[in-house]
Structure 1
Amino acid sequence: MTADAERGTTERVLTLLGLLQQRQVWTGPELAERLNVTPRTVRRDVERLRALGYPVHASQGVGGGYQLGAGQDLPPLLLDDEEAIATTLSLLATAGAGGAGGAVAGAGDAALRALTKLDRVLPARLQREVRALSGSVESFGGGRAPVDPGLLMTLARACRDEVETGFDYPAGRSGSEARRRRVEPYRLVASDRRWYLLAYDLDRDDWRSFRVDRMTDVTARTWRFRPREAPDAATFVQESVASRVYPRQARFLVHAPATTVRAQVPASAAVVRPLDGERCEVLSGAANLDLVLMHVLLLGHAFEVLDPPELATRSRELAQRLLDAGPAA
């Protein structure tokens, strides 16, 4: 079939779908007349729609004809696998960021509505695909840097299908000396800055989080694994990003509601755990804990250093230094 002929067939099939959405039942001769083709061509086009996943029912006898099944009152949405999955992943990430408040919360609500519509108008084959992939994505924060949708699709499918995955990954934070990693992928997690993969590292025999933008040569194998008992994906990745990835960690008791502190601190910079309505625990990390101490100080709330003990001593030293820098009484 030539390109022009294929394009004409596609346009005719879309027109057929539109006609089936306009009324309850069409006879074959009626459709043939409207499309200016033979009844045999109508039958072939109906089979094309069925192959795409649209439920076109045919009945014989008086009052019989062609009838579109569920979703007949909705406009067609013909997406290939990659388009549908890329759209779903983006909407899932936006919807997952809806707890941040303000404009982001509005975007999260809109994304949830869009996901609902997408699920209703996709053919059944793609509905099953995106519904399954939606269980492979979690989120905290919003406004992250873009990542190749094809890479996200490969990882999301690997999470869904429970197949081992390999990729090259830098050994250190400097980004040099990439090494091959073998993992059992569990969840994709979208932070306020980046995409991460939570996976069980087979060579290190432990759970790890990986930045998706640092992965190269990603391949999903056909070897399936039995899922292990896993930590909460979003919590594990956030703690890794905000604390465990750094050589030193600190923990604070902050005398302010968790919602207030979360609005002041990026999700990738600290983990904020509510204790009660007026206090929360803040966990963060850095190469130099003086930086973390200064950030907590500048939040403007009363706080106490919980860990490490030497940081409490350091805070008193810095406080005395600030007092000494003031004018003499």
Structure 2
Amino acid sequence: MLETSARLLRLLSLLQAHREWSGADLAERLGVSPRTVRRDVDRLRELGYPVSASPGTGGGYQLGAGAELPPLLLDDDEAVAVAVGLRTAAGQGIEGIGETSVRALAKLEQVLPSRLRRRVSALNAFAVPMLRGPGPSAVDPAVLTEVAHLCRDAERLRFEYRDHPRSRTGSGGENALGALTRRTVEPHRLVCTERRWYLVAWDLDRDDWRTFRVDRMVLKPPHGPRFTPRTPPAEDLAEYVSRGVSTRAYAAQAVVRLLVPLHEAAERISPSAGTLEAETEGSCLLRTGAPNLDVMVIHVMMTGLEFEVLEPAELTGRLRAARDLLSRAVERSS
């Protein structure tokens, strides 16, 4: 009985991990015969899990939304409360919680009965948070869950994307709207920073890996077809995204040695401002970017940490010019 119960949980986990499985694939994953898979699927149905089956060589098993809530030890009100809580956490960009919340929400919404999905949607549509201070960019949790599904199921994603706004010259620093482009990508992973959500995906038109801010995406279904996942651009996708948004995205890039331990620098510098790498017990390397070297001087100075420039050499010259400018200002003011 224990072996059967453990196998049922494993089967349920597999069905939640991908949109559709063939009977042969499930049998291979579970180490049983296709006949045993069919019996286990029937047991899940008896427990209330909506598992559909399509015949033929292209058919398979699929976990869908059902008329009744599966036995998750949650009643209707508890299920709604959990879904709303997960949506809230997903939209807040809380470190270590947001990405997990999206995955859990994607699984829960997949099996929520339609009556409960309507209640969750109504609560999110008509409940407005009062506190809106400096926090993560607004991202519709429905967009996050849809993108998470497409990452999970390896389906192509289509959307319109608003590029980073460019500064207008002679307009007091106002920002012009970035260009709007249509994109078709193979989505790989969602990555959450302390303020924003990013999608790492293979851009089919540009034939390369790209990182997209989810709050600038407008989904344009239908999506698909399925694709074979590619080798990701890095093992550490969090570091890859951090370097992309803090360094590679800018025209001017620099490497600076900070004369403090890594943990102390991490308290001052967020992943979206630069990437940190331990060097010695008392120093670490900061890789960062800025629109130009003059802005880079301000950017590095704002850390409030002792440092020395490793590259580029031109940054040292800009620092000397800034030092002389400040010295003259102090002399005139004293």
Classify the TM-score, shorter chain: 0.5 to 0.7
Structure 1: 5+ residue stretches without partners:
1-46, 54-69, 99-107, 127-141
- Structure 2 match to 1:27: none
- Structure 1 match to 2:75: 76
- Structure 2 match to 1:51: 48
Distance 2:274 2:245 in 1: 8
For the 8 Å contact 1:94–1:111, the answer to whether it is kept is: no
- Structure 2 match to 1:311: 315
Counterpart selection for 1:208 from 207, 210, 214 = 210
Using a 3 Å threshold, how does the CA distance of structure 1 residues 315 and 123 change in structure 2: closer, same or farther? closer
Distance 1:93 1:272 in 2: 26
Q: Deviations for 1:227-251, whole angstroms, at most 9, x for unmatched residues? A: 1111232112111211222222122
- For 1:297, the aligned partner's letter is M
- For 2:243, the aligned partner's letter is E
Using a 3 Å threshold, how does the CA distance of structure 1 residues 222 and 273 change in structure 2: closer, same or farther? same
Distance 2:221 2:78 in 1: 24
1:165 counterpart = 2:157: yes
Distance 1:276 1:172 in 2: 36
- Structure 2 match to 1:277: 281
Using a 3 Å threshold, how does the CA distance of structure 1 residues 111 and 308 change in structure 2: closer, same or farther? closer
For the 8 Å contact 1:162–1:227, the answer to whether it is kept is: yes
Distance 1:234 1:213 in 2: 18
Distance 2:154 2:99 in 1: 27
Using a 3 Å threshold, how does the CA distance of structure 1 residues 181 and 84 change in structure 2: closer, same or farther? farther
Tell me the TM-score normalised to structure 2 length: 0.59
Tell me the TM-score normalised to structure 1 length: 0.60
Q: Deviations for 1:152-200, whole angstroms, at most 9, x for unmatched residues? A: 1110001000111111113553434312111010111112221111101
What does 1:27-176 correspond to in 2, within 5 Å? 50-51=47-48, 74-76=73-75, 87-88=85-86, 91=89, 97-98=95-96, 143-173=135-165, 174-176=176-178
Distance 2:157 2:99 in 1: 29
- For 2:272, the aligned partner's letter is S
Structure 2: 5+ residue stretches without partners:
1-43, 51-69, 113-133, 166-175
Tell me the number of residue pairs that the alignment of Structure 1 and Structure 2 aligns: 238
- Aligned-pair CA distance for 1:77: 5.5
- For 2:162, the aligned partner's letter is P
Distance 1:217 1:124 in 2: 19
Q: Deviations for 1:231-287, whole angstroms, at most 9, x for unmatched residues? A: 232112111211222222122111111211121123322222222321111122111
1:223 counterpart = 2:231: no
For the 8 Å contact 1:52–1:123, the answer to whether it is kept is: no
- Structure 1 match to 2:265: 261
- Aligned-pair CA distance for 1:92: 6.5
- For 2:220, the aligned partner's letter is V
| RMSD of aligned Cα (Å) | 4.1
Using a 3 Å threshold, how does the CA distance of structure 1 residues 148 and 217 change in structure 2: closer, same or farther? same
- Aligned-pair CA distance for 1:318: 2.3
